[in-house]
Copies of this chain bind each other. A is one copy, B any other.
Amino acid sequence: MDMDLPLGVEDRLRAALPDLTRAERQVATHILRQYPVAALGSITALARAAEVSTPTVVRLCQKLGYRGYPDFQSALRGEVGAMLESPLVKHDRWAGGAPDTHILNRFAAAVVANLQATLSQINHGDFDAVANLLADPSRRIFAMGGRITHAHADYLVSLMKVVRPEVTLLSDMSNTWPPALLDMKPGDVLVAFDIRRYENSVLQLVELSVEQGAEVVVITDRWVSPAAAHARHTLTAHIEAPSAWDSTVSILVLVETLLASVQSRTWAETEGRMKRMETLYDRSRFFRRYR
């Protein structure tokens, strides 16, 4: 006898799914298909919608560990309540109407919207192609960003260095370019970040790199940097935010997902490398612990 009490309704439904009979599964999938609205009404409505009889629904509820339909439903209602209280969905209700939600919530809502817009628009093939480029050990990787996106290039490089060798951050000061460009061979990859207001330095570097035969990936906003004209691949992100600036969160998501993607592509070689890196960090940390 195993009891799995502390689970949510949705989880229980999913978990129980394989052990259910045909009609019961019919109900369960119907609920999941339009969760949770489907199960917010009366048992008869649910049964009719799922095209089974009401006792089937009752039996399902009991199989899930509830005492009956009302019990099941009140559990569900509790969760729905919690969902709706959750900061992101939280409507600007509460006395006095809209403008009193905390900026954290407003900002987060914008971020989520951006993310959704970005993802719905990204071409998976393009994305995978970029990941493949970055995962190719025979290519060197260079990255640069503009005034605002410099930090993202930095982030990409710091973490990518853990996964593979030959990753270089190009400063946005153009006097550091020549040595790097000197090293750039055909087939090498430049990842350039450029969001509005687009910067000339990025455009110039991209042009120079293309002349060297590099593959250029441009990560930009949805109004598209002019540098993208020279790029092999372009990833665009939505960056609107309720503030004087833009939000670069979706760009960070792209970067992190690229990292995850590259890392999973090269796991065989990466694993050892990461382990070694960890130990080295550990030892250097130990070394520095003088205090």
- Bound CA–CA A170/B16 (angstroms): 53
Expressed in whole angstroms, the minimum distance between the Cβ of A288 and any Cβ of chain B is 6
Are A87 and B113 in contact (CB-based, < 8 A)?
yes
Contact check, A124 vs B111: say whether CB atoms are below 8 A apart.
no
Q: Which of A211-219, A222-230, A249-257 contacts B (4 or more CB under 8 A)?
A: A249-257
Given contacts A77-B37, A84-B83, contact A260 B288 (CB under 8 A): no
The interface bits of chain A over 224-244 (1 if a CB of B lies within 8 angstroms of the residue's CB, else 0) are 000000000000000001111
Expressed in whole angstroms, the minimum distance between the Cβ of A219 and any Cβ of chain B is 14
* Interface size band for A: 35 or more
Partner of A112, one of B112, B147, B201, B256: B112
Chain B residue numbers with a CB within 8 Å of A148 are: 155, 158-159
A124 in contact with B108 given A116-B86, A151-B151, A152-B151 (CB within 8 Å): no
CB-contact partner of A158 in B86, B150, B247, B288, under 8 A: B150
When the two chains form their complex, are residues A89 and B93 in contact, meaning their CB atoms are under 8 A apart?
no
Chain B residue with Cβ nearest A284: B200
Q: Which of A59-67, A97-105, A181-189 forms contacts with chain B? A: A97-105
- Do A200 and B116 touch (CB < 8 A)? no
- Selected from B77, B89, B243, the residue in CB contact (under 8 A) with A40 is B77
What residues of B have a CB within 8 angstroms of the CB of A108 in the complex? 115, 119, 253, 257
Which one of B93, B103, B116 lies within 8 Å of A260 (CB-CB)?
B103
Q: Is the CB of B285 within 8 A of A256?
A: no
Q: Given A147-B281, A200-B285 in contact, is the A249-B256 Cβ separation under 8 Å?
A: yes
Q: Of A74, A97, A107, which is in contact with the most chain B CB atoms at under 10 Å from its CB? A: A107
A154 at the interface (CB under 8 A from B): yes
Which 9 pairs across A and B sit closest by C-beta, in order of nearness?
A: A243-B260, A37-B81, A151-B155, A87-B119, A107-B257, A151-B154, A151-B151, A87-B116, A87-B112
A-B contacts, 7 of them at CB < 8 A, read A37-B77, A40-B77, A41-B74, A83-B84, A91-B116, A243-B256, A248-B252
